[in-house]
Amino acid sequence: MLNVDLKGCSAFVKPELYNEYVKKALDAFDVLINESGAGNDFLGWKHLPSETTDGILNDIEAIRASWQKKGVDLVIAIGIGGSYLGAKCVIEALSHNFAKQLKRKDAAEVVFAGNNLSEEYLAELMDLAQERNVACIVISKSGTTTEPAVAFRIVKQFIESHYGKKEAAERIVAITDAKKGALKTLSTQEGYKTFVVPDNVGGRFSVLTPVGLLPIAVAGFDIRALIEGAKKAERALAVKTPENPAITYAAMRNYLFSELGRKVEILVNYNPKLTYVAEWWKQLYGESEGKDGTGIFPASVNNTADLHSMGQFIQEGSRVMFETVLHVQNAQRSVVIESDPQNLDQLNFLAGKHVEHCNHMAELGTRLAHIDGGVPQIEVSIEVLDAKRLGVMLYFFEFACGVSAYVLGVNPFNQPGVEAYKKNMFALLEKPGYEEQTKAIRAKL
């Protein structure tokens, strides 16, 4: 299914003390399974894979089919944080690296908006929209998050003026709360098709709801295989044993944090398609654990590129980190290095070898060097990077996150700190109701 290997930690860890953390992780596992911990009203994600019905998948695939029929070739997915990173990470992981340049027409291109407030980004998005056949998925659980709301105003106006209001209602799908919120009200008024973000699923745990599934499906990927993988993980990880990979991962990262003071975890990949898996993972762990003055800071590197930038720091800089390496056992494409009669680059010793073999040796060599440099290594491995294994991996990281945060002693499912910037921004933008805060913040400038 998925394997967690801790051999790269053995030089740093005292086995008896590590066993204490396994016990803590097993206790935290009980809290998560029995739903007896802080934030237990946000545990709907645990059974999403097994509870995803054919009905939901059919509805999602029907949107894909209806947009295909209209010739839609650009879908703008609007959302921020948990309302976009899951879809983005799966689409990037499963896409051809050069899909855009190859101009493959088998599915719509999905681009993202509402995850920044850059005027240039939105203006340039409208340049693209002018040339394409456009639909939009707007995703906001609350319906009031500023970034997606601003982007949606602009995209909605574009679609309405381009296709007319009636057709716009067929080209806009909203994913939001079942009953309340601005986006729900607007969708009812305008007659948009809607999907629900369940009340008991937080944004960063929502990739296996329509929040992730709809953009992934319209991008042409197999959401049934994704769910199948996640279902497999749901079953396997529900077994209470010290060998459960979620227990192992949660126990070790807490050990390294609490006993060795490793306050930074770097998620390492050796395939550019995994770049956004790391971005999704950073939100998942950062928002779930970084509170109450504690938490491991989640960072990431994309190797081998970053070995030529961050590699120096990781090898010899402050010893604040450990690494979790995402290992993909097999490449799905084959490129063999050929012999060259001149051999000016002196690479003929690699003739006949697959590029992925070199990649794996770079990975292994780096891992050993980093252990020598004092950086503990956890390995998380999957067989190949496909929809099913991705489903396994996403569910694994979610489940392990719940266990790990309970070991740490925080509520994994809230994010009170996210409000601070919003209050200041609203005060500075003079939002009605913020008059006092506006005065207070101006006095500080």
Active site residues: 287, 308, 422
Identified binder of ligand PA5 from the candidate list 52, 95, 115, 145, rule CB under 6 A: 145
Amino acid at 92: E
What sign does the dihedral 381-263-313-276 (CA atoms) show?
positive
Identified binder of ligand PA5 from the candidate list 22, 26, 48, 80, rule CB under 6 A: 80
Q: Tell me the closest approach of the beta carbon of residue 12 to ligand PA5, in angstroms.
A: 32
User: According to the binding rule CB under 6 A, does residue 287 interact with ligand PA5?
Assistant: yes
Residue 15 or 416: the one with the smaller Cβ distance to ligand PA5 is 416
Stretch that binds ligand PA5, among 13-21, 122-130, 139-147, 369-377 (CB under 6 A): 139-147
**Whole-angstrom Cα distance, residue 362 to residue 380?**
17
39 within 8 A of 98, measured Cβ to Cβ: no
User: According to the binding rule CB under 6 A, does residue 290 interact with ligand PA5?
Assistant: no
Respond yes or no on whether the N-terminal peptide bond of residue 176 is cis (omega within 30° of 0).
Answer: no
Residue 114 or 220: the one with the smaller Cβ distance to ligand PA5 is 114
Q: Tell me the closest approach of the beta carbon of residue 195 to ligand PA5, in angstroms.
A: 13
User: According to the binding rule CB under 6 A, does residue 295 interact with ligand PA5?
Assistant: no
Q: Tell me the closest approach of the beta carbon of residue 145 to ligand PA5, in angstroms.
A: 3
Identified binder of ligand PA5 from the candidate list 141, 232, 253, 291, rule CB under 6 A: 141
Q: Tell me the closest approach of the beta carbon of residue 277 to ligand PA5, in angstroms.
A: 16
Q: Tell me the closest approach of the beta carbon of residue 404 to ligand PA5, in angstroms.
A: 16
Interaction mask 190-219, ligand PA5, x per CB under 6 A: ------------xxx---------------
* Tokens 């749901």 -> residue: 234
**Whole-angstrom Cα distance, residue 326 to residue 345?**
30
Residue 8 or 81: the one with the smaller Cβ distance to ligand PA5 is 81
Greatest alpha-carbon span in the chain: 76
85 within 8 A of 126, measured Cβ to Cβ: no
User: According to the binding rule CB under 6 A, does residue 83 interact with ligand PA5?
Assistant: yes
Torsion of CA 132, 145, 273, 295, to 10 degrees: 170
Copy the structure tokens of residue 400: 């392990």
**Whole-angstrom Cα distance, residue 153 to residue 151?**
6
Amino acid at 414: N
Any idea how long the chain is?
A: 445
Strand, coil or helix: 341: coil
User: According to the binding rule CB under 6 A, does residue 140 interact with ligand PA5?
Assistant: yes
Q: Which residues bind ligand PA5 (CB under 6 A)?
A: 80-83, 140-142, 145, 148, 202-204, 287, 415
